[in-house]
Structure 1
Amino acid sequence: MSDQQLPNGRATAEMVAARAKVSRVAVSRAFNPGASLKPEKRELILRIAQELNYTPDRAARALVSGRSHLIGVIVPDVCSHWESQEIDALTTALQAEGFATLLFKTRTDYSMDEKLLAYMRGFNPDSVIAFVENVKPATLVRFLDRAVPIYVHYPHPDEVPPAAEPLYDRLNVLQRNGIEQAVALLQGYGAQRIAYVSGLDKSRANTAREKMLRSVMAARDLPPPIVVAGDFSYDMAYAATLDLFRLHGGADAIFAANDVGAFGVLDALRHELGLRVPEDVKVVGFDDIAQSHWKSYNLTTVKFDLDERVRALVRLILRRLSDPGMPALEETLNTRLVVRSTVG
């Protein structure tokens, strides 16, 4: 039967094998970059497959290999600047390794509907990356079969190791170096009264960031930061800055929980309060998103290197899949201060 005679008009691996005069196994190997096959034979098979418009049946291959080549990603937000840039970079890196991405979004309180977790399980992902620690490992692993989840974690030196938990892998992001560099720079310019415009209360990243800032300031004999409530957004940081100066006596310097919040701080200082940055008030952000170097902001910020983060996450996935029985895996990244014109 020719491909024109097939009921669904779809070519099969057997048809490719017959045209290329190779075995069915060779066709399968040609679509597996890690499989052993002579380059000229792989090139022939792929060319004929393209002529016949043949693509492997992923579901059938998953049944044989036990691998779906799908990676679940759980995020709190998909449109904020940091998350959108990270999702874009991560998806690109995963596709280069032969994976497709399944994106799942939490509720606004960072929890996740268990019906959605059950739906995710139906895809049998090879791995799941949870950017939100509020979806606990104990909860997540109940909805996974063989996949070991990966969590992004912001450890503190005083942190007490958790009690026995289900197996999960971890990307540790160490915030101390970057925050310490920022506080030292501010202190060197004479800042004593430092404020922190926070992120969402339910964000563990925000909690860890504030705790580390307090720890670093205490170690340098500075008074605790003045904490004003934010939610990682431009508008909330703008309003919080006005409250800080009109109701709470202002500050010499302001840390914002993220760069977008820092943009709100800068615009409130300059356009509403008539203050100069950095002469009157110094401003530091977190993340170093792509917009931070724009000349309107030119923001001094604690940098989380996006490319390093993505490479570390992909390494965790590949290491786990190469040996599923390994104990918990970890990768560790550091932070550093990027100095621009908002401090100086």
Structure 2
Amino acid sequence: MSDAPEPRLVRATAEMVAERANVSRVAVSRAFNPGASLRADKRELILKIARELNYFPDRAARTLVSGRSHLIGVIVPDVCSYWESQEIDRLTTALQDEGFATLLFKTRTDYSMDEQLLAYMRGYNPDSVIAFVENVKPQTLTRFLDRAVPIYIDYPHPGETPLAEPGPVFDRLNILQRDGIEQAIALLQGYGVKRIAYLSGKTKSRANTARESMLCTIMAERGLEPPIRMVGDFGYEEAFQSTIDLFKVFGGAEAIFAANDVSAFGALDALRHELGLRVPEDVSVVGFDDIAQAHWKSYNLTTVKFDLEARVRALVRLILRRLNEPDAPSLEETLTTRLVVRGTVG
């Protein structure tokens, strides 16, 4: 038995694929670019030979030539929560359909991010970075990017002008929450509800503070007293306990408006299984997000909807627009919300 090492395989090159397929080197490059013009039969032949030779394009070399890495950085506060996991899944799929790969980075629990990770991100030279958290400021993030312009998801407070901040250029997807919240309050008022509690999310979340501020503004405009504030953190357990406290210590409420659907689930289960109250006969509950689980029969939750597909399409448009107009001023897309009425208000 020989102890001689096995010879190393020679790495296949684009030229080897081109020679075997009897095509040009340019045609091989086009075959690996979904948007490039190339006859379908020729693309299929090139990809087949590439698989046989175990050839893959050298991304680093392509980046040096094109200036693009086809990588998109995504900064999130959580990867396990229901909303974030569903949005990341849809966004990753949409980006892959456009020929991008995704780099995922997670913040600390306070929504800040280790600058060493930001430096690590820069090493990948992403084409764009989507920040789902506002605590990683544009002034900080842009220091660690080269040509990429970051995209922020923002929830403007009542009366706030989008894209008003001075400083480095960044793009933004604005989510206007007024329509959906106003529809929810109008529905509750239609059923005679006056005493409303707000089950909050994390205090450091701009989405939560903007949501609560908008709710207070709309309730005041409609002649209602400010909402009772319930402690929450966007999670089920905190919402469950806070709902019990609301009714056993603080006199209860006719309706609970939750900062997200998962909190609403906690409130619903506490009302039904711990407090023995009926929903919606005794207490109405409204959620926020419209995650997939909201329509499950056990919850059948009335909720303010973010259109997930529209959000993902808007983010992809911002990326493509920026790549086509790298020197353009700040770009923005704006989406609204709407109420989805199910069985927890009535």
Structure 2-normalised TM-score?
A: 0.95
| Alignment-derived partner of residue 168 in structure 2 | 166
Which of the numbers 290, 295, 299 marks the counterpart of 2:292?
290
| Alignment-derived partner of residue 43 in structure 1 | 44
Alpha-carbon displacement from aligned partner over 1:216-246 (angstroms, at most 9, x marks no partner): 1111011000111100010000111111111
Quick check: 2:194–2:254 contact (8 Å CA) kept in 1? Answer: yes
Q: CA deviation at 1:6?
A: 8.5
Q: In the aligned structure 1, how far is the partner of 2:237 from the partner of 2:100?
A: 37
| Alignment-derived partner of residue 26 in structure 1 | 27
| Alignment-derived partner of residue 262 in structure 2 | 260
Paired residue type of 2:181: I
| Alignment-derived partner of residue 231 in structure 1 | 233
Quick check: 2:158–2:210 contact (8 Å CA) kept in 1? Answer: no
Alpha-carbon displacement from aligned partner over 1:169-219 (angstroms, at most 9, x marks no partner): 000111000000000000010100000010000011000100010011111
- Match of 1:73, SS? strand
| Alignment-derived partner of residue 87 in structure 2 | 86
Moved more, 31-40 or 262-271: 31-40
Distance change >3 Å, CA 171–CA 160, structure 1 → 2: closer
- Match of 2:133, SS? coil
Q: Does 2:210 align with 1:208?
A: yes
- Match of 2:335, SS? strand
Q: CA deviation at 1:159?
A: 1.5
Where does 1:301-312 land on structure 2 (aligned, <5 Å)? 301-312=303-314
Q: CA deviation at 1:305?
A: 0.8
- Match of 1:26, SS? helix
| Alignment-derived partner of residue 3 in structure 2 | none
Paired residue type of 1:223: E
| Alignment-derived partner of residue 191 in structure 1 | 193
- Match of 1:37, SS? coil
Paired residue type of 1:236: E
Q: In the aligned structure 2, how far is the partner of 1:137 from the partner of 1:338?
A: 34
| Alignment-derived partner of residue 73 in structure 2 | 72
Q: In the aligned structure 1, how far is the partner of 2:257 from the partner of 2:338?
A: 15
Q: CA deviation at 1:51?
A: 2.3
Gap regions ≥5 residues in structure 2? 1-5
Quick check: 2:158–2:214 contact (8 Å CA) kept in 1? Answer: no
Question: Aligned-residue CA RMSD in angstroms?
Answer: 1.4
Quick check: 2:129–2:148 contact (8 Å CA) kept in 1? Answer: yes
Q: Percent identity between the aligned chains?
A: 79
Quick check: 2:158–2:213 contact (8 Å CA) kept in 1? Answer: no
- Match of 1:128, SS? strand
Alpha-carbon displacement from aligned partner over 1:275-299 (angstroms, at most 9, x marks no partner): 1100110000000000001111100
Q: In the aligned structure 2, how far is the partner of 1:211 from the partner of 1:243?
A: 23
Q: In the aligned structure 1, how far is the partner of 2:277 from the partner of 2:288?
A: 22
Q: In the aligned structure 2, how far is the partner of 1:293 from the partner of 1:137?
A: 37
| Alignment-derived partner of residue 218 in structure 1 | 220
Paired residue type of 2:12: A
Paired residue type of 1:299: L
Gap regions ≥5 residues in structure 1? none
Paired residue type of 2:145: L
Q: CA deviation at 1:160?
A: 5.2
Quick check: 2:71–2:126 contact (8 Å CA) kept in 1? Answer: yes
| Alignment-derived partner of residue 141 in structure 2 | 140
Moved more, 161-170 or 94-103: 161-170
Paired residue type of 2:117: L
| Alignment-derived partner of residue 345 in structure 2 | 343
Moved more, 49-58 or 31-40: 31-40
Q: In the aligned structure 2, how far is the partner of 1:193 from the partner of 1:8?
A: 74
Alpha-carbon displacement from aligned partner over 1:103-124 (angstroms, at most 9, x marks no partner): 0000000000111100111110
Q: In the aligned structure 2, how far is the partner of 1:33 from the partner of 1:115?
A: 34
